[in-house]
Structure 1
């Protein structure tokens, strides 16, 4: 790690220090990326107010989806902000209520798919049958997560996503609709309720 911090988020700096020397990914498809970059986010809106509310930090999968913190408000602790996944297939969805919840998701070592209609995770039995997974490096991550934060892998990744949607979903959809016209209407059609 250099003398400069990776991000203004202690949890991400610890994650960077852990993952930087590793030769392999510790969770399927995940990789830290330049903190605060707007590439991929700016395809939704180039409005400076829109872009200012996101802080990207990682690639969610090997096909171009990314994770970003959503500045839902001006709280000082950025790790307490919700995490959004911008999909390479066109979707944008809440994925975790906090950064630590996302770290627990990564500990599941499941590949994430971000589609226009939602987020899904690879099946662990299929992953095992295909030899997918991050192996020993993943076990190092699980031990690191427990040591640094006292956290275990999420029992059910879908429940983490659902909790984020229940906590922030309506607010996120309404906010996105200010910048992406028709966002709330499309979301209502997919989910069965309005923003």
Structure 2
């Protein structure tokens, strides 16, 4: 029997690290949950073939926002899939081009001074873990994320949603992504 958290080695490493913190958090609101627990609320009556292309894996905030991998194509390395942020208040965006980029973004210092003090030790451990496992460091804010690639994923995501979404859902998605009607 395989006791791995997921079929994604990068997420398995992160799960081991998260478990080692014994309930402490290394990033505000981030917490892995049951891998691929489903997204019925987002897609409504979408066929399973569409629902299966979204793989939720973590809370992004303490208020219920979460991250999901989007199977935008048939690549086998799931860690290279784009990461979608689903906000609890209707926010929606392509957060990162892949898991390693998300891991770097999670390493950014929190804005809240209370969080900074509370998360100092787990955050320092996370930075060391990120360097040790992937040779990555926190972003320095100088173009660490490829905006053109994110914009292309955003456009492709909107086109994909337009294949199955109700008119209302598509309008909500396009509004959240700040896009017009997508074109294939």
TM-score grouping bracket, smaller chain normalisation:
0.7 to 0.9
CA distance in 1, matches of 2:176, 2:120: 40
Deviates more, 1:57-66 or 1:101-110: 101-110
Aligned residue number for residue 81 of structure 1:
81
SS at match of 2:50: helix
Selected match of 1:181 from 152, 166, 171: 166
Unaligned runs of 5+ residues in structure 1 are: 111-123
TM-score, normalisation: structure 1: 0.80
- Comparing 78-87 and 148-157, the one that deviates more: 148-157
Tell me how far apart the structure 2 counterparts of residues 171 and 147 of structure 1 sit (CA, whole Å). Answer: 34
Unaligned residue ranges in structure 2 (runs of 5+): none
- Cα pair distance change 1:171/1:159, threshold 3 Å: same
Write the distance in 1 (CA, Å) between the matches of 2:129 and 2:79.
Answer: 18
**Matches of 2:83 and 2:15, distance apart in 1:** 17
Shift of 1:165: 2.8
Partner in structure 1 of residue 124 of structure 2 = 139
Q: Deviations over 1:38-79 (max 9, x none)?
A: 1xx211224212210011110000000111100001101000
Give RMSD over aligned pairs.
2.5
Whether contact under 8 Å (1:97, 1:163) holds in the other structure is no
Indicate the SS of the match to 2:29: coil
Aligned to 2:72: 72
The yes-or-no answer on 1:42 pairing with 2:57 is no
How many residues are matched? 175
Residues 69 and 81 in structure 1, CA contact (< 8 A), matched pair in contact too:
yes
Maintained 8 Å contact 2:93/2:176: no
Cα distance between partner residues in 2 of 1:164 and 1:181: 27
Q: Which residue of 2 aligns with 1:30?
A: 30
Q: Distance in 2 between matches of 1:190 and 1:109?
A: 25
TM-score by length of 2: 0.84
**What is residue 119 of structure 1 aligned with on the other side?**
none
Q: Is contact 1:95-1:161 (8 Å) kept?
A: no
